[in-house]
A and B are shown apart, each in its own frame.
Chain A
């Protein structure tokens, strides 16, 4: 597992940052984010919390060894869930990769909270984890398959060579009585 984290303060009021959040893309420094779609959105009638589920489409060239090993393509998609809680002035965002998720997960958490009327704290953490259980079971199955194939071939080798020896010596025996 690998971790990443950073924190930062934006010199803007919390509400400005949160309104701006929906305008983050496109921007000239994040050209890898090419699409943003909202899939679900609800407003909790009791708490006033807005939950939004989005899918972000990214284009980023992967190293050839990754493409060869995992398939994959230039297009990668990320699922993002955000909660805007006006009452506590908190925004939390979780993102998880959809592409290549069978091999590894990248789990990102972001929080925006007010520090002062004109400052907003941003914290971001990410955990990247290969699916070890999957690797282990795939490796196990590969070993099993190799052992089975080896056993079959060993059986065939034994009986094939028995035939060769029998034929060879029977022929010689018949040729020179």
Chain B
């Protein structure tokens, strides 16, 4: 597993990544199935899994996040990051290519 940009945050990062990865592996395939089943099932599944993620990984996430936020500031990356977020918020997925229909 890769390091954090700050040595101090690496243990928290690894614990968070492991937590996310194990949650994600349980999330992905059922979510693909739920997506096929229609909107109601999809929403119910997403809601349930989001709550489960918070319950499992919420605490370690907040610890890791506060560590990495401070590390970004110490390295002077916080302003660059803020500029990048303003210039390009990237709040939506890239739309599918126009030439082909990707819903199959």
Say whether A and B bind each other: yes
CB neighbours of B1 from chain A (8 A): 23, 26
Q: Which of B71, B91, B93 contacts A92 (CB 8 A)?
A: B93
Q: Does A28 contact B (CB under 8 A)?
A: no
**Per-residue interface assignment for chain A, residues 27 to 56, with 1 indicating a CB less than 8 Å from any chain B CB and 0 otherwise:** 000000111111101011111111101010
Whether the pair B84, A101 counts as a contact (CB closer than 8 A) is yes
Q: What are 13 inter-chain pairs, A to B, with CB distance below 8 A? A: A15-B29, A22-B17, A39-B68, A43-B49, A46-B46, A49-B93, A57-B5, A79-B84, A83-B92, A83-B93, A86-B31, A87-B35, A87-B42
**Per-residue interface assignment for chain A, residues 49 to 89, with 1 indicating a CB less than 8 Å from any chain B CB and 0 otherwise:** 11101010100000000000000000001010101111111
Whether the pair B3, A43 counts as a contact (CB closer than 8 A) is no
Residue picked from B2, B25, B31, most chain A C-beta under 10 Å:
B2
Residues of chain A at the chain B interface (Cβ within 8 Å): 15, 18-19, 22-23, 25-26, 33-39, 41, 43-51, 53, 55, 57, 77, 79, 81, 83-90, 92, 94, 96, 98-99, 101, 109, 111, 113-114
